[in-house]
Structure 1
Amino acid sequence: MNLTEICIIKRDGKRENFSPSKITNAISKAFNATGIAHQEELIDEITQRVINHFENPTIGVEEIQDLVETELMKVQPEVAKKYIIYRQWRNTERDRKTQIKHIMDGIVAIDKNDVNLSNANMSSHTPAGQMMTFASEITKDYTYKYLLPKQYAEAHQLGDIHIHDLDYYPTKTTTCIQYDLDDLFERGFHTKNGSIRTPQSIQSYATLATIIFQTNQNEQHGGQAIPAFDFFMAKGVLKSFQKVVVSSISFYFDMKGMEVDEAKLQALVKQHVASIAPSEDEKKILLAAFADQQINLTADELEHILKKAYSQVRKDTHQAMEGFIHNLNTMHSRGGNQVVFSSINYGTDTSAEGRMVIEELLKATIEGLGTRGEVPVFPIQIFKIKDGVSYSEADYKRAMEDFDAAMEGKVEFETPNFDLFLKACRTTAKALFPNFMFLDTPFNQHEKWDASDPKRYRYELATMGCRTRVFENLNGEKTSLGRGNLSFTTMNLPRLAIEARIKAESMSDCQSQDAIERLAKEIFISSVHDMAVFIAEQLYTRYQYQRTALARQFPFMMSNNVWKGGGNLNPNDEVGDVLNQGTLGIGFIGGHNAMVALYGQGHGHCQKAWDTLYEAVEEMNHVADEFKQKYHLNYSVLATPAEGLSGRFTRMDRRKYGVIPGVTDRDYYVNSFHVDVKEPITIVEKIKCEAPFHALTRGGHITYVELDGEAQKNVKAIAKIVKVMHDEGIGYGSINHPVDTCHNCGYKGVIYDKCPICNSENILRMRRITGYLTGDLNSWNSAKRAEERDRVKHC
């Protein structure tokens, strides 16, 4: 056939004359990408072989590329692989040109799709929400094209990895942070429009905490957390108490027609009233100090004043906690009605002030929002379990002997905050929060923790509610305060397993199932190692880019020393080494699905699957350790909290490999190392199965169990579950159960199809997604809705 007569049909339908040089150039690029040079004769030969297949005077571009792949596979399989990858990459790039238009149309039309529902904490159909979604999609496209090195952009777009928060990549910001509120409150802080003095009451402490949350939210793309809420708020309670004592004494003397020097009175109270529950000796010292200044009170009069002040401050504290919760559920920090992704850790302050804060916080959480007591979505609350402080085996046994009496406060406990633990369990049974953090699990302990240290919270692990964990530190103090995650990237674990199984089946001469599985496992573990290395380098590339940010890009976080070290920077300084105390997370998803791909069953009840998944996560840790040494940065392994990602990998792998039962046949991959949400398994079995993985995922983890029925009627069961978590070495755990509310009549309880009182189908169904709550499942993406439907109850 005369080559001049051949016509090429392009992808857009246009025609052009055939040019052999285009085939030759494409093959040459594939050879060069493989590192094979000086093969001009072979390239010409392959080109001619492709042309020899032409049978008609017209041929499509895709047909030609198929022929090139076929001929390359015959002589140079490695070159063929590079050609195939490049071809797929080019196809992806072409698709994006039309895909962006399709996405934008969906945003304009407020379609109910996974782009618009990528964040259940945002209303993407509002004008500001639409603008944020527009910006997000366009910024991702900009990142792919101009910022990401080609190999990482390609791996993300092909579904080998998922680089989280790509829309924030150009901003160079970090993910999340744990606030040192004590430092901020004592120094005061400034925002764009003014400075804030040290607060002087519990109401101000709580209000300023919400302002800090709201202000810093716009300088990071993830969540914000307070690591020791009880310790930080306690000073506000004491200051309020002191103010009430002063005003009460002034009023009392005024009623008697006597004048008191209020300045002296304030100084005396501040000096001698160091607790809202002073001891008898402290009261005597206070009376003597008053008498020295001619402020004469009897012991009974002082007792009455202190009692009234205590009662008033409890009311003030309750209102402050109520306001704190209401503000965090109503203050929009970003467009799309998005409230602050906020978390608070507490439970180990044994002072009367700190205990009062938590007592009133728990009461306010149970009372809920509005007139119908809706369950608060934020803040995510985490109760710290600490032996000798908030928990002991002896106290647990006492409580179980007469649980009703224990809940009513009629049982004496040896640990000062065990009663708060029981109240936390009761609150969890009603409002799903708090979750539970176990400080005595070996990997959560700190060698510097000392019960007598008033600032011991510095050495207590705190977590983001979604599970992100920041504790160990190569470049500074081992603490959660003033630090956060820099970025994290997730590997597609099921894809690695599918590929390993396919390769093992093609390589094995023996048809023995055991032999194939052994080879597949070997390939799988090796590929996990390689992918972890790939991700670690990608994280380092992003870190190097983040370092170039200027301090003035984060005016609140850096200039107020919220991120420790930032306060030493001038506005035009690069943040540089200030970021090296942050963490870099190597994440993974779909452990269960990966094991099904290898063995036909998950790790919930299959020992060899469990062993393989454990070995795979260990391999990720080996890589994290290697890169800690290589770059002296805080690499860790993260059990990824997948929301938007939960269905992305699955859709891509189903297109690539077809429907594989138990692997790609659902709309989602199961999160990290979790047992399949559909698998029947007892509470104890699930906890025992997942607990060992917590020690390997120092970047963050969570284990949850699903309860049926109304948990608030069985608080004892909540306490028993927390004990199992404590005993089995869980690092961070939560308990899910249905919390339903009828919009029409306000009935609360487990509601199936219709309200049992008024037959309404207008039901608010509060459920947990990745770590936080949401009461509207319609705001969840399709994958997470499917996952929620599949969740079995554990018994």
Structure 2
Amino acid sequence: MQSDTKIIEDPDKGFEKGAVQPARDKGSLEASMMPLTEPQSLQQTLDGQFISTMPKVRTTDGHMVQWDRNIVVNQLLKETTLSEWYHNISSISKDEAHDVAKETEKRIRGMNIKFLSGPLIRELVNMILLERGHLEWRNVSTRVGSPVFDACEIDQGSGFEANENANLQENAETAHKKKADKISKEQYLLLLPPKIADLHLNGDLHIHDLEYFGTRAFCQDWDLRYFFYYGLMPDGSGAKASVAGPAMKAEVAMLHAVKALGSAQTNFAGGQGFYNFLTFCAPFFEGKPYKEIEQLMQMFVYEMTQMMVARGGQLVFSSVQLSPGVPKMWRDKPVVYRGRVWDGTNGTEKRVYGDYEREVRLGFKAMMNVMLEGDYWGKPFNFPKPEISIEPDFMEEDEMFNRANPELPTYDELYTMTFELTAKYGTPYFDNQLPEYRGAGEGISCYQCCAYQFSANADSDSEFDEKMYFNEGKHFSMGSWQVISLNCPRAAYLAENDDEKLFSHLKHLMDEAMEVFQTKVKWLKPIIENGRMPFATQQPKDPVTGKKGAIAVDIDSLVFTIGVIGINEMVQYHTGSQMHESRDAFKLAIRAMTEMDIYGKELSRKFGMEIALARTPAETTGQRFSVSDLLHEEFRDKVISVVKGDVKAAVEGIKNTHDLPIYYTNGTHVPPGADVSLVDRINIEHVFFPIVDGGDIMHIWMGEGSPDAKGLKDFAMNLARNTQLGYFAFTKDMSVCMDDFHMMAGLKDACENCGSDNIEQLSRVTGYIQAVGGWNAAKKQELEDRKRYNSADMV
């Protein structure tokens, strides 16, 4: 008889009759019940007892253990406690757990199988739970993961979300991230309220960066003064990484700035940026010659575009806000650097940022020259995204300063450089603070990530003045908790041409988004309390007092972003016309957005959570919503009537893949392929900027290989002064030969220099320049559809 054979009185009661029990592995069901080494058999001896040859199981830590029904019981008792926290439903009782375990063992015995695995045992348990009506226990007891075939596809760069993020690289870390993403997304969908999970899965709304939903906030714009005062603690606690004191030299300050953004990626799902970058850096440049400042800027840019340290081995998704001079509201504020606030106390001189106008101008010039040169091959730098701030402070020259410093560039000359960079690479983004609604000079404001806008002023922040002066380490930290996008075309499909039904359904989706936000806060509270967001919640050693300093991020001040997708297709289905085709459709879009903006403010007051309405960048969401609607039989004909892209190819290919060449238009945009003049496009899109307070962008796709920089500048400044556009970019398509490294304007299939077809095309995917090869089918189709404009259109 085999050594693991047991003689028990009854196969359903053996473990409760006092028989000697084997040692138990304390891991999960999968760890305890991996493939068994012997076929199960059940024989009856002459004295009527059962002989059970329940085979041994192999644990994941390399041990062989005997089958033990009580492991199932214990796992159920332990794991179903999650239902109390996540679903407010009691966990399983001991008696019912024993009953489920008995039934599981009975079914295993009846299967007459040669091999048994832990996943199969778990699925049997979950099937029994479902049969007994316990979805809530099944959802927390099931497993998340990937079939072996799918995991192998991920290793090869295909399969699961292969083109979800164009910033990801082709490397092993990307494969590792994709596997982790798959597990995390499944986990959070199982733990979310089933109604919310179904809304996401069905395509009514989209929870962005779902893989990070339970562990981190979305994005953050940082105040560099914090790191220039406290120094750098990359791990947030000082326990794992070396802690650096405040930078004393410019080179160290630049490296601290780089590492701060890189370290922040461990605590945030989205982009990281620096507000007012050059002004805060300027004291480190004091008295330095231009070439040395240019070297510092070159070091910063190359570090940001060569550190493959972000999630999945990608570059840090970063941005810097750049002003050509010191903004007026900062000119009389004390400088913060080298571990001190230079306000005349603690042995310091009194220094203000206005003393460093020279350094800011030279820093701006240096940044533009570095980006104009491009990298060693002549490619553009895609990070950090240069957010060029067009401010009232710099629309007129400081003639007295210019006369006293004739060797320094003027504001006009510096802005001209940004358009030279635009004409060459299309790199800059223009943060237009001239419109009255932007509130320039009354507070601080910045664009971040792919078009999210954040601001602070004395009305919204009771500590605004203290933050301006960095009193007791108080500083600005602006960002978002989470982004949820709404499928606006589907709202029209359900409204049946009734305006009130349309608005009601949009508001209903906003209500559902609030439940997601509340869930996020509930989940992250213990994460934060348990020190699982250490970089964001760090309190470094104060260099003056030696005590703990101010917390890095005021988590409670982060906003909750509701994004819109497909407003154009929504009104197209509802009215029969697109926004650019009829006044009625345009007016309905404005009214719908206004209704949502007003309702968002109501929700902010009701829940005590700041809601920001935004245009979602939608690298994949515009595709996902349209494909989801195409998959729903009740919506199929409706989506076909309005969706953009190659509808025929999508219909033919939907049984084989969901990466299809169709999409809904981003945010409140006119469709990228609409045959309208640039002026008409601007006249429509600029109206939405004051309404979409969480962020919007105007894309101008350029068709010329070498557009005129002066013409671009004149056109852009006219837009800034005479429209409501708060944020816009000119995109230039480019190609690079991967054989002879030759750069070309336009989307080329072959190298004009050597004839090679080993070409990488470059363009702006949503809000940043990236290789087209990593785009999904919808974005590639959109790239093909885009209507491009020449200099003659910009008059």
Task: Report TM bin, short chain.
Answer: 0.5 to 0.7
Partner SS state of residue 485, structure 1: strand
After superposition, give the CA deviation of every residue in 1:760-779 in whole Å (9 maximum; x if it has no partner): 222232211111111x2111
Counterpart selection for 1:184 from 227, 235, 248: 227
Contact 1:740 1:750 in 2 (8 A): yes
Matched residues in 2 for 1:561 and 1:462: separation?
26
Post-superposition offset of 1:414: 14
After superposition, give the CA deviation of every residue in 1:746-769 in whole Å (9 maximum; x if it has no partner): 143235433333322222322111
Counterpart selection for 2:171 from 126, 139, 159: 126
Partner SS state of residue 340, structure 1: coil
Name the residue aligned to 1:43: none
1:163 aligns with 2:207: yes
Post-superposition offset of 1:327: 0.9
Partner SS state of residue 520, structure 2: helix
Counterpart selection for 1:761 from 757, 764, 767: 757
2:389 partner letter:
K
1:603 aligns with 2:597: no
Counterpart selection for 2:367 from 361, 368, 371: 361
1:128 partner letter:
E
Contact 1:646 1:784 in 2 (8 A): no
Counterpart selection for 2:273 from 217, 225, 236: 225
After superposition, give the CA deviation of every residue in 1:110-157 in whole Å (9 maximum; x if it has no partner): 35456121111112x5222111101101111111112x1122111111
Post-superposition offset of 1:109: 5.4
Partner SS state of residue 699, structure 1: coil
Matched residues in 2 for 1:412 and 1:498: separation?
63
Counterpart selection for 1:556 from 531, 535, 543: 535
1:526 aligns with 2:488: no
Matched residues in 2 for 1:190 and 1:140: separation?
30
1:380 aligns with 2:388: no
Q: Mind listing any 5+ residue stretches in structure 2 that lack a counterpart? A: 1-132, 327-356, 468-474, 648-660
Matched residues in 1 for 2:506 and 2:418: separation?
40
After superposition, give the CA deviation of every residue in 1:542-568 in whole Å (9 maximum; x if it has no partner): 223323323521222211479xxxx99
Post-superposition offset of 1:647: 1.2
**Structure 1 segment 616-765 matched on structure 2, within 5 A:** 616-656=592-632, 657-659=635-637, 660-663=640-643, 665=647, 667-745=662-740, 746-750=742-746, 752-765=748-761
Post-superposition offset of 1:430: 1.4
Matched residues in 1 for 2:360 and 2:558: separation?
29
1:195 aligns with 2:243: yes
Partner SS state of residue 764, structure 2: strand
Counterpart selection for 1:773 from 769, 776, 779: 769
Contact 1:120 1:779 in 2 (8 A): yes
Post-superposition offset of 1:683: 1.9
Distance change (3 Å), C-alpha of 1:747 and 1:416: closer
Matched residues in 2 for 1:393 and 1:759: separation?
49
Distance change (3 Å), C-alpha of 1:428 and 1:481: farther
After superposition, give the CA deviation of every residue in 1:459-515 in whole Å (9 maximum; x if it has no partner): 3311114111121474545699312101011110011112223xxxxxxxxxxxxxx
After superposition, give the CA deviation of every residue in 1:184-206 in whole Å (9 maximum; x if it has no partner): 20232323422222223332222
Distance change (3 Å), C-alpha of 1:139 and 1:524: same
**Structure 1 segment 499-518 matched on structure 2, within 5 A:** 499-501=494-496
After superposition, give the CA deviation of every residue in 1:43-98 in whole Å (9 maximum; x if it has no partner): xxxxxxxxxxxxxxxxxxxxxxxxxxxxxxxxxxxxxxxxxxxx9x99x99xx999
Counterpart selection for 1:320 from 296, 313, 324: 296
1:768 partner letter:
R
**Structure 1 segment 145-164 matched on structure 2, within 5 A:** 145-146=190-191, 148-164=192-208
Counterpart selection for 1:216 from 264, 268, 281: 264
Post-superposition offset of 1:589: 0.3
Contact 1:225 1:343 in 2 (8 A): yes
Q: Mind listing any 5+ residue stretches in structure 1 that lack a counterpart? A: 1-86, 242-309, 396-408, 449-458, 502-518
Partner SS state of residue 662, structure 2: coil
**Structure 1 segment 415-454 matched on structure 2, within 5 A:** 416-446=410-440, 448=442
Matched residues in 2 for 1:777 and 1:713: separation?
25
Matched residues in 1 for 2:715 and 2:406: separation?
19
Post-superposition offset of 1:687: 1.5
Partner SS state of residue 584, structure 1: strand
Distance change (3 Å), C-alpha of 1:525 and 1:426: same
**Equivalent residues, number:** 579
TM-score by structure 2 length?
Answer: 0.68
Counterpart selection for 1:580 from 556, 560, 563: 556
1:482 aligns with 2:477: yes
Counterpart selection for 1:470 from 432, 454, 461: 454
Contact 1:110 1:116 in 2 (8 A): no
Post-superposition offset of 1:790: 1.1
Name the residue aligned to 2:786: 791
Name the residue aligned to 1:300: none
Partner SS state of residue 555, structure 2: helix
Post-superposition offset of 1:671: 0.4
Counterpart selection for 2:777 from 782, 788, 792: 782
Superposed CA RMSD in Å reads 3.3
Matched residues in 2 for 1:568 and 1:538: separation?
38
Contact 2:146 2:179 in 1 (8 A): no
Post-superposition offset of 1:702: 0.8
Matched residues in 1 for 2:784 and 2:565: separation?
19
2:641 partner letter:
P
Partner SS state of residue 734, structure 1: strand
Contact 1:113 1:781 in 2 (8 A): no
Matched residues in 2 for 1:103 and 1:121: separation?
25
Contact 2:386 2:429 in 1 (8 A): yes
After superposition, give the CA deviation of every residue in 1:511-549 in whole Å (9 maximum; x if it has no partner): xxxxxxxx4333212211222222123222322332332
2:199 partner letter:
A
Post-superposition offset of 1:105: 4.2
TM-score by structure 1 length?
Answer: 0.68
Matched residues in 2 for 1:232 and 1:117: separation?
37
Matched residues in 2 for 1:320 and 1:569: separation?
31
Contact 2:435 2:720 in 1 (8 A): no
Name the residue aligned to 1:283: none
Name the residue aligned to 2:218: 175
Post-superposition offset of 1:353: 0.2
Contact 1:189 1:560 in 2 (8 A): no
Matched residues in 2 for 1:218 and 1:196: separation?
19
Matched residues in 2 for 1:677 and 1:417: separation?
33
Distance change (3 Å), C-alpha of 1:701 and 1:113: farther
Post-superposition offset of 1:640: 0.8
Contact 1:168 1:221 in 2 (8 A): yes
Distance change (3 Å), C-alpha of 1:792 and 1:712: closer
1:234 aligns with 2:282: yes
Partner SS state of residue 225, structure 1: strand
